[in-house]
Amino acid sequence: MQQAPRAIIHVDMDAFYASVEELDDPSLVGKPVIVAGLGRRGVVSTCNYVARTYGVRSAMPTSEARRRCPDGVYIFPRHARYAEISEIVFSVFGEVTPMIEGLSLDEAFLDVTASLRLFASIEAIGRRVKESIRERTGLNASVGMAHNKLLAKLASELSKPDGFLHIHPGEVQGYLDPLPIGRMWTVGKVAEESLHKVGIRTIGDLIRADAWRLNKAVGERHAAQLRQLCLGEDRRAVVTDAPEVSIGSEWTFDIDVDELPIAEAWLLRQCERVGARARSRGVDARTVSVKLREPPFVTHSRQAQLPVPGNATPDIYAVARRLLQVWWNQHPRPRLRLLGVTLSGFDARHSDEQQDMFAAPVSEKRSDGVQDRINERFGAGALVRAGVLKTRGSE
């Protein structure tokens, strides 16, 4: 007995960060809005569609964006505000299905197969999601619908901005064949160049290509997978409650840091950020990693285990600081362009679990809870440890 096709929806908010800024300040509507790091080495997080007409795009250095769009409105990201809107968006998802795979604050897959009886059709569900987001946030979402994740995401991308598109099984090749091969999932720059060399420039070209040419370009294993994808076949399931692999925070300095106390202050700041995020998610980390980048682009990574899995900022900082100091002392003239901290190896915390007798008493960690509550109420950075104050004024 053949299994009924799945009903998958991909939702992607349009220019999310920039749209939130326009929502909070309507005077920005119609102007090129660029949300980015504003320092000398800042990078664009996102921009609205007006800014994109100037050639500005995500991940572009802010300095390049300013050259292309000197009259743009440049805004430093407000992550707490974006997370607030994101919670509203995801609450809409939860009203139509529990099968939600969040990809970021503004993007998710929904498996609504089991919801079809209640809502009649995938289009009805998609329309409800789109309209509810608009009513509750004032923002536009692009909604793509199909029988698998690959095609649902393609549908939202092709219909942006403010999109709404359902790719039916009989329409797959009509949408796929004309697209550049670089648009296909798993095809990066290197693979794209290799395929171009053997005359494969579109998805349709790949489907019609003989096995020898395709194997020569990308290898036999990747070729078989790629041919399936180009035929619109994708068996990936929507994965709910996917465990977080890592929590990281990093900072690129406008001026290279060559003093250890200043580096330690920035390190503490990143430890506060990742610790707060781990506590908000109720997870304990086993591993602390420190990322160190020397100018211009020489990157080092060091990691060590916490004595006991946890998320307290002092414990994270103690391990991270030791890693930084060891690296610093190994270099005759240490200088840092970038410094970051990442937590990984998570254990979910449960209230009925037996507590480790060697873990720090709750009273010793209470300051983290106070700091988290104050920052949640008044904004990130409202309360910081004294050691972080050396970083103020240099953002």
Detail the residues annotated as belonging to a binding site: 12, 106
Longest dimension (CA), the chain: 70
The whole-angstrom separation of Cα 269 and Cα 272 is 5
The whole-angstrom separation of Cα 241 and Cα 35 is 29
The whole-angstrom separation of Cα 376 and Cα 378 is 6
Written as one string, the DSSP assignment of 167-218 is --GGGHHHHHTTSBGGGSTT--HHHHHHHHHTT--BHHHHHHS-HHHHHHHH
> 123-126 — which CB contacts under 8 Å span 24+ positions?
123/166, 125/7, 125/9, 125/96, 125/97, 126/9, 126/164, 126/166
Peptide bond into 332 cis (omega under 30): no
Q: Are 251 and 300 in contact (CB under 8 A)?
A: no
The whole-angstrom separation of Cα 256 and Cα 40 is 11
Tell me, letter by letter, the H, E, C secondary structure of 20-54: HHHHHCHHHCCCCEEEECCCCCCEEEEECHHHHCC
With tokens 């749209």, the residue in question is: 19
Q: Are 73 and 26 in contact (CB under 8 A)?
A: no
The whole-angstrom separation of Cα 160 and Cα 157 is 6
Written as one string, the DSSP assignment of 363-378 is HHHHHHHHHHHHHHHH
The residue from 107, 192, 264, 272 that is catalytic is 107
Q: Is 220 a catalytic residue?
A: no
Q: List residues forming the annotated binding site for Mg(2+).
A: 12, 106
- Pairing relationship of beta strands 246-257 and 44-47 according to DSSP bridges: unpaired
By annotation, the residues acting in catalysis are 107
